[in-house]
Amino acid sequence: MSATATTPAAARVSAGRPGIPFSRLMRVELRKLFDTRAARVLVILMVLGVVAVNVIKVIVDYGDPQRYEAFLSLSYIPLGFLLPVIAIMTATSEWTQRTALNTFMWEPRRGRVLWAKFLSTIIVAVLGYVAVAASSALAMGFAGITGSELDWNVRGAIVSGALIMMIAYCAQGMAFGMAIHNTAGALVLFFILPTVMSLLTVLIPFLGDIREWIDFATSAVPIGNGEFGGDAVAHFVSSAALWILLPAIVGVWRTLNKEAK
């Protein structure tokens, strides 16, 4: 034990600006997304998934004409599947691993912690999409070597649709995580509830009639494909309110009021 262990200065309690600056909170929460073993495994799975999709497409369509958009849309699938899991864990692990005891001592204003978590997940989603864009370009390069005719045309609607869906799924993951505070439970519900919803819309005619308005899995398809025409946006907003906003409200309330122990 060294002398520096115990050199408390005179009381430094200042009631000026409470908590810590948001920038430091962002740095902490961004780091926390990737510094655990589980998160590293997920990142490796995402990279492997994207690589596999690209390699398979280049091989299967050997020498055939290739579209950059097709690579983009396919590579996005493993990302869209696994990024929400990271979003779920950022909300749940504070409670399952009980790190909330530390996190809320660093920054007692829990609402700001939640914002930092949400924004870091969004940043990661956007960076993930940029990485997918780069890897798709690389795959196109390889396809070119195989003699494929290359179509580099990209519609802005495809890119914005994919980005919107990635952010929406991350938001949904975090909302479920905040509402349930248990990784396994949140994961199961995140992946099972949409199926249950589809089943219900088949079983119950009334729900079937309003399916586009309440079933996020249905209303997400056109948006993800960059089709914003007709009622697509209205359907998306309505079902997002049910599948994202509602669990998020429950989750924020729970997180702000739950006793950290």
Going residue by residue from 1 to 20, which x/- string records binding to other proteins, judged by CB under 8 A?
A: xx-xxxxxxxxxxxxxxxxx
One of 99, 146, 160, 195 touching other proteins (CB under 8 A) = 99
Which range, of 32-40, 118-126, 150-158, 181-189, touches other proteins by CB under 8 A? Answer: 32-40
Which range, of 46-54, 104-112, 142-150, 238-246, touches other proteins by CB under 8 A? Answer: 104-112
**Angle, nearest 10°, between helix axes 183-203 and 156-180?**
110
**Quick one: which of 122, 127, 83, 112 has its CA closest to 24?**
112
Phi-psi region of 21 (alpha: psi -120 to 50; beta: other; left: phi over 0): beta
Pair 150, 66: CB distance under 8 Å: yes
**Counting contacts by CB under 8 A, is residue 44 touching other proteins?**
no
Going residue by residue from 53 to 92, which x/- string records binding to other proteins, judged by CB under 8 A?
A: ----------------------------------------
Sorted by sequence, the CB contacts under 8 Å of residue 116 that are 6+ apart come out as 22, 25, 26, 28, 29
Count the site residues for other proteins by CB under 8 A: 47
**Counting contacts by CB under 8 A, is residue 160 touching other proteins?**
no
Residue with tokens 């309110």: 241
For the chain, the maximum distance between any two Cα atoms, rounded to a whole number of angstroms, is: 75
Pair 66, 149: CB distance under 8 Å: yes
Minimum gap (Å) between residue 4 Cβ and other proteins: 6
Q: Which residues in the 233-252 window bind other proteins by CB under 8 A? A: none
Shorter beta-carbon distance to other proteins: residue 99 or 195: 99
Q: Distance (Å, rounded) from C-alpha 85 to C-alpha 47?
A: 15
**Counting contacts by CB under 8 A, is residue 106 touching other proteins?**
yes
SS3 category, 66: strand
Residues at the interface with other proteins (CB under 8 A): 1-2, 4-20, 24-25, 27-28, 31-32, 35-39, 93, 97-102, 104-109, 257, 259-261
